[in-house]
């Protein structure tokens, strides 16, 4: 088991991170490491990092310590800043009838758009002809579908 002290001893400067990444990729390319095992381990590390960084107590402890150094300070090869992030505004609380009307219109349009998109997905590849309210004829085609093939890992 890796202790937190060991994690604190690792130097993660930019050059080291780049070298570590390149070494992992080289090991995979040369066949000296198991690609599935490495991918699994990386997913586990991502999950570990997410669990730590999303934890309220962790955030509180780090903020408390950072505040001792001021609003911004240099730490190793980084600049650390204390700032507001993910600022959100709740306009529904404003009780503005004009905003409420606009929001209702947007939601209605989004619903209408989703319905139209569902219809467009049903169109055969050769297309279909439609006539609009002005009598113009259009050929509709299904949406172009793109995707990326990747290896998904679901941690248990």
Per-residue pLDDT of the chain (156 residues), as tens digits, is 656 667 777 778 889 889 999 999 999 999 999 999 999 999 999 999 999 999 999 999 999 999 999 999 999 888 999 999 989 999 999 999 999 999 999 999 999 999 999 999 999 999 999 999 999 999 999 999 999 998 888 888
Using only C-alpha atoms, what is the Rg of the chain? 26
What does pTM read for this prediction? 0.71
Q: Where are the domains of the chain?
A: 4-81, 96-140
């Amino acid at each position: 088991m890796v202790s937190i002290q060991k994690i604190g001893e690792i130097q993660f400067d930019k050059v080291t991170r780049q070298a570590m990444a390149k070494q992992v990729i080289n090991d995979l390319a040369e066949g000296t490491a198991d690609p599935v095992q490495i991918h699994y381990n990386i997913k586990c590390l991502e999950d570990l990092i997410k669990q730590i960084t999303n934890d309220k107590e962790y955030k509180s402890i780090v903020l408390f310590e950072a505040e001792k150094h001021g609003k911004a300070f240099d730490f190793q090869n980084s600049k650390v800043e204390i700032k507001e992030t993910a600022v959100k505004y709740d306009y529904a609380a404003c009780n503005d009838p004009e905003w409420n009307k606009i929001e209702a219109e947007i939601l209605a349009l989004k619903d209408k758009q989703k319905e139209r998109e569902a219809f467009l997905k049903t169109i055969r590849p050769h297309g279909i002809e439609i006539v609009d309210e002005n009598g113009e004829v259009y050929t509709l085609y299904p949406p172009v579908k793109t995707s990326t093939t990747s290896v998904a890992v679901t941690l248990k």
